[in-house]
A and B are shown apart, each in its own frame.
Chain A
Amino acid sequence: MAAMQRQSVVGKDVPFERIRRITGYLVGTMDKWNDAKKAEEHDRVKHGLGPNA
């Protein structure tokens, strides 16, 4: 019964993958980033394409 319940749903506890660039390289997920780079990524603002910010 327990096994059947497990089979009826997919993806429990599976995180989304979030790919970001760090020192030129891409990193598959941010789990392995160090704390400073995580903070830096968190602070990044988007740049608009207009003449001014």
Chain B
Amino acid sequence: MIHSVMKRDGRIVLYDESKIAGAILKALDATGEGNASDAAKIANAVHAKLEEQTMDGEPPRIEQIQDAVEYELMKEGYETTAKAYILYRANRTRIREANTSLMRTIDEITNVDARQSDMKRDNANIDGNTAMGSMLQIGTAGAKAYNEAYLLTPEQAKAHREGDIHIHDFDFYSLTTTCCQIDIIKLFKGGFSTGHGFLREPQGIASYAALAAIAIQSNQNDQHGGQSIPNFDYGMALGVAKTFRKSYTRKLTESVEDLLDQESQEDTVKALVDQVKTAVGDGPRLETDVAEFDGRLAKLLAEQYGFAPERAQHLVATVRRRATRETDRATYQAMEGFVHNLNTMHSRAGAQTPFSSINYGTDTSPEGRMVIRNILMATDAGLGHGETCIFPIHIFKVKEGVNYNEGDPNYDLFKLSCKVSAKRLFPNYVFLDSPFNLQYYKPGHPETEVATMGCRTRVMGNVYDPDRQISFSRGNLSFTSINLPRLAIESHGDEALFYKKLDQMMDLVAKQLLDRFEIQAEKHVYNFPFLMGQGVWLDSDKLGPNDTVREVLKHGTLSIGFIGLAETLTSLYGHHHGESKEMQEKGLAIVRHMREYCDRKSQAMRMNFTLLATPAEGLSGRFVRMDQKRYGKIPGVTDREYYTNSFHVPVWYPISAFDKIQIEAPYHALTNAGHISYVELDGDTANNVEAFESVVRCMHDAGIGYGSINHPVDRDPVCGYVGVIGDVCPRCGRREGEPISEAKLRELRKMYPGGVPTFCGCE
């Protein structure tokens, strides 16, 4: 007789045949193959079978009972029901295993030092050793387990799990979208709200810069990727103009009061300035309408106070000089504060510094130029102890006629940007003259200038709304990358087979991106209080709080990425594209094929499918580890710890900067979702500003979209030296970890006043 049952965890519970009948009935109901009496009959048969199988008094196990149910269903001809029951069982097992693996993951997050756990260093911007960092990682692990079990189709789940594809930001699968270019001018106009009180429209450069940092932080909390400002110079210039106007009137008041030895001229002076403002059409402006505005004002002053004309003119000239100087200082301080803010503020439960980027370089107004010069100078100076700023990523927009050639209005700022980048690694460069960027460019319309997210995400074309092919207020919705080398390995040199596999994989990814879009599209404005609630995203200002975001999201992009073109070519043909012209043609053919797929998909769906040269932080190792297990170490393909980034020439391959740029540039034209090329310079070359600039010019002339130059930037926190440090610090002579004497430190302070930290965190 059967009295009890052994559960999976080993507990013994009372045997209850009606529970078996209940489970069978559920399956029969689902397929429509039978009713309650059929279920009871099968349960009876199951009971009899269990009696046969088990020794007297030994409780049957759950798995054994389920096997018996399957057997009886099949035997009695309920084939569809049996199939449904088996699938249901398999799915339950998958979820159970996910739960177990989830607990193991959480155990690792809780107990293992991040230095020992690669998983905890998956995102280099999160400190996995801190409380908030760990909490974020536990949430991530839970969300991933849920998303895989419930939101992906079995086919997608398998492809993601086994490394055919990688669904990026998978933890946020059901929650939000990637990133946005925040139009800071539109946001500030009339003020905005962060959810805890309303912020009035800022009235000077200090508050402009402070609120810009807050905007980035607020939006970062609504999305899973980074945040960027596409018009940093144009936006901050408005704050500079306000600061100058105030400073001019204040300095004028003070000068007049000094002359008269009175304290009561504020209203009179303001009335005079207003009078000129009415006549000229604008208040006092930095370096603009100088002769007319100052001339009229001097005349009025002379009349009002009986000053000699020359004296009045001299007074106004002095006022202008001082107001300009004061505005410049205020701008520098504002930019310094902005950079400090972005390196110290946190978002996402305090676990992350916001990923922030700013684009600038093309505003030629005196105010815009003042912004650009000062943000570069603040970056050049570094943080409190001269540390290189990690955030924001600076992107200098290079444009012929604006800043590229001698005689262009912002050429001096382009030169300055090279000097700063040669020391501090930023700015990077986006090239508006490259044909695929130039096609959108309309002079006088900054929104048509291509801006990029620092990581490389580029959103410009718009098949959903062809009149809005702009960078402002848009971003990526989600992206998924294809493991290209695996497709090549499994094609065994058969090119046609490779392309067939590639098409199948792109179909799978496109479908998955659309499935994810369906989840995103059903969200409401209230799910994104800043991004949508404050009208940051394009057309979201036309929606109410309870509207779904489906239509406006279509301004964004769904991107298909790829990794390891070099290894793919080596696997298929024996060489990579850095090695021969023939391989370059093969490489371009593959990437062009993918781009054409995206374009066709865009037309068919009237949504923006774009091709991404994937930024592969965690991915570069994940794919190759799995492929090494499957295929072993294939020379030139799986024999390193990482796959090469997107279409890059492998980092280990010796090549000149010029050749590397020429080879990679044509891929920029094809990867419309974003791309970046790096050139690695040694420390001495980077310190040579002419050499540095020649690399940037080479990128521009070759048709690169977005590029940056890497060079070693080391710092000794003890003596404050910034530059290249080999084994020994060139300034204080210590080796890593060695102390220096206090006497030596005092001596260095005398030699480098202000350049040696007074507190290095190590005392």
Contacts and interface: CB of A to CB of B under 8 A. Distances in A.
Interface of A: 7-28, 31-37, 39-40, 43-53
Contacts of B615: 23-24
By CB atoms of chain A within 10 A, which of B124, B622, B694 has the most? B124
A34 B615 CA distance: 14
Contacts of A15: 736-737
Contacts, number: 184
Contacts of B618: 34, 36
B656 A12 contact: no
A34 B621 contact: yes
A12 B738 CA distance: 5
Contact of B657 (A16, A32, A34, A49): A49
Contact of A40 (B125, B641, B658, B762): B641
A27 B124 CA distance: 7
A53 to B, nearest CB: 4
Nearest to A33: B124
B121 A32 contact: yes
Interface in B617-633: 617-618, 620-622, 624-625
A25 B718 CA distance: 25
B658 A49 contact: yes
B199 interface: no
Contact of A35 (B641, B652, B694, B736): B641
Closest 10 pairs (CB-CB, A-B)? A36-B621, A11-B718, A23-B615, A9-B739, A39-B641, A12-B739, A47-B657, A24-B455, A36-B642, A43-B652
A33 B618 CA distance: 9
A25 B622 CA distance: 20
Given A15-B737, A25-B390, A40-B651, A51 B125 contact: no
B617 A14 contact: no
A30 to B, nearest CB: 9
A10 B742 contact: yes
8 contacts: A10-B739, A10-B741, A16-B729, A24-B456, A33-B124, A39-B621, A43-B651, A50-B656
A33 B173 CA distance: 24
A5 to B, nearest CB: 11
B655 A53 contact: yes
B660 interface: yes
B655 A14 contact: no
A11 B691 contact: no
A23 B656 contact: no
B745 interface: yes
A44 B695 contact: no
Interface residues of B, number: 78
Given A15-B737, A25-B393, A44 B680 contact: yes
Interface stretch (B20-28, B40-48, B481-489, B705-713): B705-713
B762 A11 contact: yes
A32 B127 contact: yes
By CB atoms of chain B within 10 A, which of A34, A37, A43, A44 has the most? A34
Nearest to A47: B657
Contacts of A51: 656, 658-659
Interface string B703-736: 0000010101111111000000100010000101
B660 A37 contact: no
Nearest to A50: B656
Contacts of A14: 717-718, 737, 760, 762
A7 B734 contact: no
A53 B425 contact: no
Contacts of A27: 124-125, 390
Contacts of B682: 46
A47 B717 contact: no
Contacts of A16: 714-717, 725, 729, 736
B736 A31 contact: no
A26 B708 CA distance: 11
B393 A34 contact: no
Nearest to A34: B121
Interface string B657-668: 111100000000
A25 B658 CA distance: 23
A37 to B, nearest CB: 6
A9 B742 contact: yes
B58 to A, nearest CB: 49
A18 B722 CA distance: 10
A16 to B, nearest CB: 5
Contacts of B122: 34
Contacts of A52: 656, 659
Nearest to A52: B656
B171 interface: no
Contact of A11 (B114, B387, B388, B734): B734
